[in-house]
Amino acid sequence: MDTCPQTENAQGQNPNGNHILITKNLNAYYGSFLAVRDVNMAIAPNSITAIIGPSGCGKSTLIRCFNRMHEVAHGARVTGQLLLDGEDIYGTGIDPVSVRTRIGMVFQKPNPFPTMSVIDNVVAGLKLSRIWSRRRKMEEIAERCLRQAALWDEVKDKLKQSGTSLSGGQQQRLCIARALAVKPEVILMDEPCSALDPIATLKIEDLMHTLAKDFTIVIVTHNMQQAGRVSDATAFMMMGDDRAGQLVEYGATKQIFTNPKDKRTEDYISGLFG
Amino acid sequence: MPRTHFKHYLQSMQEELLVLGSMVEKALARSMEALVNRDIALAEQVIADDKLIDKKRYDIEETCIELIATQQPLARDLRLIVAVLSIVVDMERIGDYAEGNAKIAIMIGDEPPLKPLVDLPRMSKKAGEMLRAALDAFIRRDADAARQVVIEDDEIDNLYDQVFRELLTYMAADPATINRATRLIWTAHNLERAGDRITNICERTIFVIVGRAEKYRGLK
Ligand SMILES: Nc1ncnc2c1ncn2[C@@H]1O[C@H](COP(=O)(O)OP(=O)(O)OP(=O)(O)O)[C@@H](O)[C@H]1O
Ligand SMILES: [Mg+2]
């Protein structure tokens, strides 16, 4: 299996290396509370990176920093750098909204817009980001995204029905299609399968492998087995004594799962805590 | 099909197993060729190539461990991976027997031949055929074909007895032949062991298919 990205450079020391997303000394605060401390990661393009760790260790907080969603919470702020294609998305003059079209997000609970049809849900992001144009064009884009999200065959006869009329797994793929519509470079997923049954989960996992051909994926998952199944690289986070979440170990998934270097990773992976 | 990614890795793991199989088959054939033709260079090649066989074995093992660690294989997939873990050991050992025979070819060097080699090449050829048939049965998940290969191992065992008795006769008749005859007995023994390893591979194949071990050695 030679599909693992170059994750040795987990310290982010090589900004010119083949990495689409690099974090440098990233800290995330809620008010004065340091929720995530000093994260350094370097993510290869077209890879799938899983972030695992016990509840409350800051996984969601970390990926919300990746597309400037963190600062939306009251009193929340970020220090450090996050380079997307070499450019700091926290740099001055960068519009958070444009960051979010380049780095999309799929959430734990499928959240299609309830009043919108399937097709309108897919292109909703385009409307929001004001790239909206002709109706025909929209339909083309919707079909392309629904196909990419492996949902087209199941919904092609109910495009005008409400998005919420679909099954949970279908709704989640609809949300993925919606994220794809704005042509992001990176897709963040925060526990995208936790509300789904095992079959729907495996469908999403298969879909992730397909999507990784065109996108870079970062997934937060509570399900360690899922991290093993889908990801090329794994980041293990834990809360320190000061309750700040930190990156304990970050490397190729096969290394983390067969031969972790840190005792805490070993204990977590083998189910001794968490 | 669900889990296409995992299935893809299972598939390529088996393709690697076939590659290892053809490396071992080649080692068997070439070590015998080296013996028959007194080809020292070829024998040295077989010995050098054994390193590649060892490496391939460890590469496949690593893949198996990775799949177990990351993919939670169950039922038939789990049996398949466990079987591959054991089959690669058997194949690597067959490679070692071929290497052993290559070393014997070098030891013999240009000593005058004791006798023209007839049964040993037959044993070697049979072992190569059985190995190919065993792997074929494994890949096709054909339990009957695997059982058939196990039965064919009798042929190697019979040839071994025959060679052994014949060489004993030489040694009894003329103590000056003892060294040369002993080397040929080692060669035959290596091939007989190779046949047993191939039987193991067939037992593993049957385990993958029916879900329990069918033990053949000892029944015979
Ligand atoms: N809006 C918020 N305001 C203040 N503190 C918060 C806020 N959201 C999260 N936190 C705190 O930040 C820390 C990290 O929370 P986060 O949600 O990132 O954890 P997590 O690893 O995603 O957990 P889980 O696995 O349960 O989803 C926790 O201590 C949490 O209480
Ligand atoms: Mg979370």
Tell me the fold of A21-114+183-269: Rossmann fold (3.40.50)
Residue B25: Cβ-neighbour burial (10 angstroms; 0-12, 13-18, 19+): buried
Tokens of A55: 């509840």
Q: Which of A98, A104, A70 is closest to A181 using CA atoms?
A: A104
Sign of CA dihedral B106, B110, B115, B121: positive
pLDDT bucket at A6, cuts 50 / 70 / 90: very low
Residues contacting B141, CB < 8 A, separation 6+? B205, B208, B209
Number of the ligand 1 atom closest to the C-alpha atom of A245: 14
Q: What phi and psi values does residue B48 have, to the nearest 5 degrees?
A: -65, -40
Query: What integer pLDDT is reported at residue B217 of this predicted model?
Result: 56
* pLDDT tens per residue across span A114-157: 999 999 999 987 776 655 566 778 889 999 999 999 899 999 99
Q: Is the pTM of this model over 0.90?
A: no
Region B111-131 average pLDDT: 95
Write out chain A residues lying below 8 Å of B71, CB-based. Answer: 228-229
Q: Is B167 a domain residue?
A: yes
Q: Is B63 on the interface with A (CB under 8 A)?
A: yes
Å between A225 CA and nearest CA of chain B:
7
Tokens of B97: 């027997």
Q: Is B112 a domain residue?
A: yes
A61 close to ligand 1 (CB < 6 Angstrom) = yes
A196 vs A11: which has the higher pLDDT: A196
Residue B127's domain comprises: 4-210
Residue spans per domain, chain A: 21-114+183-269
Amino acid at A9: N
Query: What integer pLDDT is reported at residue A197 of this predicted model?
Result: 87
Nearest chain B residue (CA) to A232: B70
Q: Is A258 on the interface with B (CB under 8 A)?
A: yes
Query: What integer pLDDT is reported at residue A128 of this predicted model?
Result: 64
Region A159-170 average pLDDT: 93
**pLDDT at position A10 over 50:** no
Query: What integer pLDDT is reported at residue B81 of this predicted model?
Result: 96
Region B129-148 average pLDDT: 97
pLDDT bucket at A85, cuts 50 / 70 / 90: very high
CB B69 to CB A225 under 8 A?
no
As a whole-number percent, the residues of chain A with pLDDT over 90 amount to 78
Q: Is B92 a domain residue?
A: yes
Query: What integer pLDDT is reported at residue B216 of this predicted model?
Result: 66
- The C-alpha atoms of residue B77 and residue B80 are separated, in whole angstroms, by 5
Q: Averaging pLDDT over each range in A191-195, B42-46, B169-173, B174-178, which range is the top one?
A: B42-46
Q: Is B220 a domain residue?
A: no
**pLDDT at position A171 over 90:** yes
Q: Is B152 a domain residue?
A: yes
Q: Give the number of other Cβ atoms within 10 Å of residue B174's Cβ.
A: 11
Closest-CA residue, ligand 1 atom 5, reads A30
Domain count, chain B: 1
A274 close to ligand 1 (CB < 6 Angstrom) = no
Region B104-109 average pLDDT: 96
- The C-alpha atoms of residue B213 and residue A41 are separated, in whole angstroms, by 47
Query: What integer pLDDT is reported at residue A104 of this predicted model?
Result: 95
Mutate to test the interface with A, among B1, B4, B5, B85 (most CBs of A within 10 A): B5
Instruction: Provide the angle, in degrees to the nearest 10, between the axes of the packed helices B75-108 and B119-140.
Output: 160
Q: Is B87 a domain residue?
A: yes
Write out chain B residues lying below 8 Å of A209, CB-based. Answer: 4-5
Number of the ligand 1 atom closest to the C-alpha atom of A73: 1
**pLDDT at position A17 over 80:** no
The residue length of chain B stands at 220
Q: Is B216 a domain residue?
A: no
Q: Is B125 a domain residue?
A: yes
Q: How many CA atoms lie within 13 A of B32 on its CB side?
A: 22
Residues contacting A1, CB < 8 A, separation 6+? A254, B9, B63, B66
Q: pLDDT averaged over chain B?
A: 94
Write the CATH number for B128.
Answer: 1.20.58.220
- The C-alpha atoms of residue A101 and residue A92 are separated, in whole angstroms, by 18
CB B70 to CB A253 under 8 A?
yes
